[in-house]
């Protein structure tokens, strides 16, 4: 049985139709929060996550939105407010990764990474904070690669996640006087469809970790739920690693 620490709270999770995002939606719902989620494709999968959340006794809605489009991000926040009567928790989970050697990296990919991994986080935080009252929570899903990128081709992705570190530290000063916290959760390798825990690539990463295994999406969701709850009210501007010792 989960606690009901988030009962009556209203949340939006971007990129919530699969992987870590879906686990976060279900965990927040299990804690009692009404949860909206965004998705860019696969409405069927988004609908499945919504149904799973609703089965836990909360309101849930799926919103199609490409996080590369600032207008779509703002519209998703406004839709959440309209559906639930406000917003208390924003989880900026949507993100992409493109890996390529520097000589082959395409500027289109560079621009899209920063549009989704950085600009959308700021736009979402700006839009949501306009509606948040004291006790509001903004939680970004960053990456351990902001601290350690042990293989070639990941420089742009690492840079995009490092940008979030400065963002939360700076925005914590803007939002703190209003009683709103903002933090990064920085996962290490997590077992998802896009990054499975088996195979040659996974084996190479596990060798770099203190705990010799991939993380579970539910473990990331647990940290997010803690930051969204009342016991984390004194944490802001923090970059919190949950990476099995990948960066140790």
- Residues marked active site are found at 157
CA dist 173 and 107 (Å) reads 33
């Amino acid at each position: 049985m989960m606690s009901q620490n988030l009962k009556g709270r209203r949340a939006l999770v971007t990129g919530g139709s699969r992987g870590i995002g879906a686990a976060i939606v279900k965990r927040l719902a299990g804690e009692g929060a009404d949860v909206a989620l965004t998705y860019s494709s696969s409405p069927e999968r988004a609908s499945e996550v919504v149904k799973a959340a609703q089965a836990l006794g909360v309101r849930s809605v799926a919103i199609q939105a490409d996080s590369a489009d600032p207008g779509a991000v703002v519209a998703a926040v406004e839709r959440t407010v309209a559906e639930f009567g406000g917003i208390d928790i924003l989880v900026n989970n949507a993100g992409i990764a493109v890996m390529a050697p520097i000589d082959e990296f395409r500027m289109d990919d560079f621009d899209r990474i920063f549009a989704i991994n950085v600009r959308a986080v700021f736009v979402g935080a700006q839009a949501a904070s306009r509606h948040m009252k004291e006790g509001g929570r903004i939680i970004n899903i960053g990456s351990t690669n902001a601290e350690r990128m042990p293989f070639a081709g990941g420089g742009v992705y690492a840079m995009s996640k490092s940008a979030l570190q400065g963002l939360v530290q700076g925005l914590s000063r803007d939002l703190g006087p209003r009683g709103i916290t903002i933090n990064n959760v920085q996962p290490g390798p997590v077992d998802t469809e896009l990054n499975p825990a088996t195979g040659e690539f996974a084996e190479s990463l596990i060798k770099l970790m203190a705990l010799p295994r991939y993380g579970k999406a539910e473990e990331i969701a647990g940290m997010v739920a803690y930051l969204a709850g009342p016991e984390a009210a004194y944490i802001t501007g923090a970059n919190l690693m949950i990476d099995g010792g990948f960066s140790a």
